Structure 1
């Protein structure tokens, strides 16, 4: 009977998802960095190795350089009772060839690797800097958030709105160019050009928010469109934020949809100008509802909801231009008892056939969170844990959910290097 059921299931999967049903690959093994028990580790060729010497607090996942030769991680350091902030963030670099780690910056935030070189940018009290590991260079002042332009020759950046006696100013977007030689930078303003002034108020449907911050910049595959999130004041942003799309020349601007932070960031498809995001306002303590997986195709701004009735999404990842894996729960009201809250499972969505299939079944009390597609192996990874757990086990499976197995145990965050 079990064999017969397995055969029937296999046929159904093949009919629904013919492109990758039970697909095994012979790609290179995963190259992973992760945090466990207060240390940074790597796993290469199925061998785990601890690379940091002292235990610490690593609040963000490690990040690989574009060529995989370096690993960057942030270490939180207590500052003492007299400091303005309880901690500062050190930025460290680990050299994969020499197997040595080096503290590069004693206090910095939001570091991001260049997409083309072994240099990285970071913020320090609103100053955007670039470091080549030996020196760092002031690039721009008054920066709230930023991202590299895909060719590595500059940045898209924002300044936050300021509160003046007559009210809030506007957030402003800028484009910043980098010289080929960082030593040629003479001032922190001569390479900065204003790109777009965000309207003071953004409206979608019956919801309006004041524009205070602009963040989370992402370029479309052809670099003709930029998605970003506009936030209101801090507490308000827990309930309502606006996803916006702007053309790379600044001539077309659209308030696309209402979203909230702390679920999953919008992401573009791999090669097509299709933006995926979880739409819907309202923090989760108001209930697991109104969180829909939407896609928007550019330049038509045509949007499609992919979430069936009575379900809500908590996270997603693109597998290719026609398939998405989501972390999904049944809609429910909020409960103060964590055991009564719904736990997510993974579902794969085929955009071509509009078919959907549940591919994981976590045990009672556990959920499958944060799906991440691995291009190098053509497999899906995710974290299985309790809702309030800081650590969990990382699982890996084929894209149809077949042959699942534990990849990493007791991990708080991880990052896969994609060649």
Structure 2
């Protein structure tokens, strides 16, 4: 009898454990609240939740950029694909209207608060004011810049000058701090740092005549940027640089191509992820590396025989990486190296797949969404590009937007930000 009671109790316990295991909660789906601006057939579209709607009806739109406050979407528009210059427009998400901002615009960046839009026309920096919910005429801030970025608090800009060819050779780029307010005519400009001339790194010399935009570490102590060479040299090699926020410590860290999206700070602290390497072919000799204070030799995360195409920090401990096989030379068909999304541990470098593209397709441009609770990627098969979303562990992957435009491509590096922009998390 005792033996029977023991067996009965054991069976009952197993039933309870089986019930608990089978009824364990599945990760909640995070995709229904997402909002995306994207390009389809040359037109700007917006998707909010499950609803898609077109924004533009004429021209060729590109480079959508959602403002941090979610009120506006900036985008460029050309009348014809072959036009050299684009017109800058903004779309008011609240009232559904679009407004032209300026002609011949090269780049645009929102202020951290989201109501001021900075942009470059030739080498002039201008700002359009949308604080009152209406567009005011743009004001010139400073002339003669190479690139720029808003201060983290939105009080002005860090800008770089463009080096000039003099009888003695090229001058180097210089960095300036510019304090700016749309309510004040006076602007305060102060030289911050002069790049070395020449810039020496790994026993080589580089012509640092310009820079990329600037990115501050989360702790505010370091500024990362790319020192760029003249056009022909810049296509093959530039230097990633780190400058302390007080301008007293300068450290060249790695060779890399002039892609702003290839260097990103972790969301916490001062660890920098970089796709490093020289040569214009984006699949050859490129390695995802991590750098942290005191910024010596980086930690390589890319296994032998693999190429990391793009990445995003999921959190301070892990990264989302689009990883493919690496061709042995540029004589191989580079376009057949399709990536998949991997979750990579920032400490050990261990990786596991999060996406499973079908044969003949690849998953590009992984991004962390909803504060790290969700993720996205672009699935492209050489004929069509779609947006997929999933939970951050790769579960509940869903086709979310069909048929977006193909991003701009240069030697197998795809600029998918030219065709999509996610609404920032408040």
TM-score range, shorter chain: 0.7 to 0.9
Aligned runs of 1:161-176 on 2, under 5 Å?
A: 161-176=163-178
Rounded Cα–Cα distance in structure 2 between residues aligned with 1:366 and 1:201: 43
Quote the residue 1:58 is aligned against.
Answer: 61
Rounded Cα–Cα distance in structure 1 between residues aligned with 2:113 and 2:333: 44
Quote the residue 2:256 is aligned against.
Answer: 259
Residues 1:49 and 2:53 are matched in the alignment: yes
Rounded Cα–Cα distance in structure 1 between residues aligned with 2:109 and 2:263: 18
Residues 1:373 and 2:376 are matched in the alignment: no
Please say if residues 213 and 232 of structure 1, whose CA atoms lie closer than 8 Å, have aligned partners that are also in contact.
yes
Stretches of structure 2 lacking an aligned partner (at least 5 in a row): 1-24, 130-134, 406-418
Please say if residues 42 and 62 of structure 2, whose CA atoms lie closer than 8 Å, have aligned partners that are also in contact.
no
Larger Rg: 2
Quote the residue 1:102 is aligned against.
Answer: 99
Say which is worse superposed, 117-126 or 375-384, in terms of deviation: 375-384
Quote the residue 2:277 is aligned against.
Answer: 280
Quote the residue 2:159 is aligned against.
Answer: 157
Number of residue pairs aligned between Structure 1 and Structure 2 = 383
* Closer, same or farther: CA 266–134 of 1 in aligned 2, 3 Å: same
Quote the residue 2:396 is aligned against.
Answer: 403
Please say if residues 268 and 274 of structure 1, whose CA atoms lie closer than 8 Å, have aligned partners that are also in contact.
yes
CA shift for structure 1 position 272: 1.7
* Closer, same or farther: CA 294–198 of 1 in aligned 2, 3 Å: same
Residues 1:322 and 2:317 are matched in the alignment: yes
Please say if residues 34 and 370 of structure 2, whose CA atoms lie closer than 8 Å, have aligned partners that are also in contact.
no
Residues 1:87 and 2:91 are matched in the alignment: no
Rounded Cα–Cα distance in structure 2 between residues aligned with 1:383 and 1:263: 19
Quote the residue 1:210 is aligned against.
Answer: 207
Say which SS state the counterpart of residue 213 (structure 2) adopts. strand
Rounded Cα–Cα distance in structure 1 between residues aligned with 2:89 and 2:67: 13
Please say if residues 276 and 294 of structure 1, whose CA atoms lie closer than 8 Å, have aligned partners that are also in contact.
yes
Rounded Cα–Cα distance in structure 1 between residues aligned with 2:296 and 2:26: 34
Quote the residue 1:33 is aligned against.
Answer: 37
Rounded Cα–Cα distance in structure 1 between residues aligned with 2:190 and 2:343: 42
Normalising by the residue count of structure 2, what TM-score does the alignment of the two structures yield? 0.84
Aligned runs of 1:157-196 on 2, under 5 Å?
A: 157-179=159-181, 182-186=182-186, 190-196=187-193
Quote the residue 2:301 is aligned against.
Answer: 306
* Closer, same or farther: CA 49–377 of 1 in aligned 2, 3 Å: farther
Quote the residue 1:122 is aligned against.
Answer: 119
* Closer, same or farther: CA 22–316 of 1 in aligned 2, 3 Å: farther
Say which SS state the counterpart of residue 144 (structure 1) adopts. strand
Residues 1:228 and 2:228 are matched in the alignment: no
Rounded Cα–Cα distance in structure 1 between residues aligned with 2:139 and 2:260: 34
Please say if residues 31 and 389 of structure 2, whose CA atoms lie closer than 8 Å, have aligned partners that are also in contact.
no
Rounded Cα–Cα distance in structure 1 between residues aligned with 2:26 and 2:314: 14
* Closer, same or farther: CA 264–104 of 1 in aligned 2, 3 Å: closer
Stretches of structure 1 lacking an aligned partner (at least 5 in a row): 1-20, 80-84
Alignment deviations for residues 143-188 of structure 1 (CA, whole Å, 9 cap, x no partner): 1100111100011100111111221011001111013xx24214xx
* Closer, same or farther: CA 340–407 of 1 in aligned 2, 3 Å: closer
Say which SS state the counterpart of residue 234 (structure 2) adopts. helix
Say which SS state the counterpart of residue 58 (structure 1) adopts. strand
